[in-house]
């Protein structure tokens, strides 16, 4: 949708100070810019017209433990990154060298169909016709992001 309002969402670890969370978000935003500026019109639209940041508490970060040939106890921020990637959400990430190269931020663009629930209300599950209309109105990724972002709180 042209002129759709866009916001850059980011997940950061809970245990960083607010200023550190903002800095880590900025680092990941620059990585997103490096990867997508000039390639994705959506990012250029956001950077020229919207510029809104939403920084959320992403929980813990760690590389996990290798037990029995499998990574276990992976940090929640790392799990969220994986979930976004598995659902084809374009992300920017930053790994802080001063913190042992731990993942410290994940950012991604979100359109208004995801966050504006007044203009784009959730499907109420009451009528088949509304489900069909809901499926026409939202992409699979928009539905995923609406559900994915629900439990997060501001950092």
pLDDT in tens, 74-93: 899 999 999 999 999 999 99
Q: Is residue 131 part of a domain?
A: no
Q: Is residue 151 part of a domain?
A: no
In which domain, by residue range, is 49 found?
6-112
> Max alpha carbon distance in the chain (Å)?
54
Neighbours of 107 (CB within 10 A): 28
Distance CA(90)–CA(124), nearest Å, equals: 29
pLDDT on residue 21: 98
pLDDT on residue 132: 60
Q: Is residue 139 part of a domain?
A: no
Per-residue pLDDT of the chain (155 residues; tens, 9 = 90+): 457 899 999 999 999 999 999 999 999 999 999 988 766 688 888 989 999 999 999 999 988 766 677 767 889 999 999 999 999 999 999 999 999 999 999 999 999 999 998 888 876 655 555 666 666 778 889 989 999 999 999 98
Q: Is residue 78 part of a domain?
A: yes
Q: Is residue 127 part of a domain?
A: no
Return the ∠ at Cα 84 (arms to 68 and 2), rounded to 5°. Answer: 170
pTM of the complete model: 0.87
Sign of CA pseudo-dihedral 3, 115, 140, 108: positive
Total domain count, the chain: 1
């Amino acid at each position: 949708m042209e002129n759709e309002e866009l916001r850059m969402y980011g997940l950061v670890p809970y245990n960083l100070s607010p200023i550190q969370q903002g800095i880590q978000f900025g680092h990941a935003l620059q990585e997103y810019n490096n990867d997508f500026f000039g390639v994705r019109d959506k990012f250029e639209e956001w950077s020229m017209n919207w510029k809104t940041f939403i920084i959320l508490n992403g929980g813990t970060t760690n590389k996990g433990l290798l037990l029995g040939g499998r990574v276990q106890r992976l940090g929640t921020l790392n799990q969220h990154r994986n979930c976004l990637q598995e659902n084809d959400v374009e992300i920017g990430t930053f790994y802080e060298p001063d913190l042992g190269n731990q993942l410290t931020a994940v950012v991604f663009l979100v359109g208004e169909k995801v966050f504006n629930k007044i203009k784009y209300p959730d499907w109420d599950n009451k009528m088949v016709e509304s489900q069909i209309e809901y499926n026409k109105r939202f992409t699979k990724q928009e539905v995923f992001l609406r559900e994915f972002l629900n439990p997060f709180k501001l950092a």
